[in-house]
Amino acid sequence: MTGTATHVTVETVTALRGADRHDLCDAAEAAIRDGGGFGWLTPPLRNVMEAYWKGVLLVPERSLIVGRLDGVIAGSALIEAPPKSNEARAHTAHLTSHFVAPWARGHGVARALLVAVENAARQQGRHILELDVRETQEAALQIYRQYGYTEWGRHPFYAMVDGRPVAGLFFYKQLGDMIAPETAKAVAEATEGSDA
C-alpha cells in the first residue's frame, strides 16, 4: 500500500457476523492461492469454506482470533486446546490456521495475531504453545523463529504438494514458568544439541 496509514486490530471471535464470514473466507482463499494455506492446496468451494469456519466456532477447545486491517478481516489464528480427557497435556495449546491474506501482508497483522494467540493461551492457563508448518512457508518460519519458538523436529513427508513430499517443521514456545528456569534452559540446550 502507498503511504496511507493502516490500522491493525485483533480479536477473539465467537460468531461471524455481517460481512465477517465473507471476509474471512476471502482472506483464507487468497492465502491458500498464494501457498500459505493451512492444509488446503487449492481453495475449496465456498460452502465448504464457510462450513469449516462455522465448525471451528462450535468446538469448545478452539479459540478463533482474527486480524483486521482497516476493519476488514485479513487473517486468522486458531488456538486448539487438548481435549479434557488429555489431562497430561492440559498445559499445552496448538497454534493452527495462522495466515494473512497476501493483500494485507507487511502491515504487522501476522505478528499481531501471534502476540494475541500467546496472550490468549496464557489466559487459558497454557504454558506451552506448539505449532507445525511446511518448510516452504518461509515468512511464517521467520516470524516464529523471531518470536522465540524452538524448532524441535522435522517430518520429511509432512505434506504432499504437486505430487512431491514437503517436509514439515515442528516448534514450541514456553509461555510461562511451568518449570524452573534452570531446568527449562537445560532442556532447551539438550534439544539444540540433538539431531532433531
> What are the pLDDT digits (tens) for 79-131?
999 999 999 999 999 999 999 999 999 999 999 999 999 999 999 999 999 99
Average confidence (pLDDT) over 3-31: 92
In the numeric block, which cell numbers belong to residue 85? Answer: 480427557
With respect to residue 142, please indicate whether it lies within any of the assigned structural domains.
yes
Count of domains observed in the chain: 1
Up-side HSE of residue 17: CA atoms within 13 Å toward CB?
4
Residue 18's pLDDT band (boundaries 50, 70, 90)?
A: confident
Average confidence (pLDDT) over 46-74: 96
- DSSP for 99-148 reads EE-GGGTTSSHHHHHHHHHHHHHHHTT--EEEEEEETT-HHHHHHHHHTT
With respect to residue 87, please indicate whether it lies within any of the assigned structural domains.
yes
With respect to residue 60, please indicate whether it lies within any of the assigned structural domains.
yes
Q: Containing domain of residue 59, as a range?
A: 8-192
With respect to residue 1, please indicate whether it lies within any of the assigned structural domains.
no
Which of 149, 164, 154 shows the shortest CA–CA distance to 194? 154
In the numeric block, which cell numbers belong to residue 140? Answer: 511464517
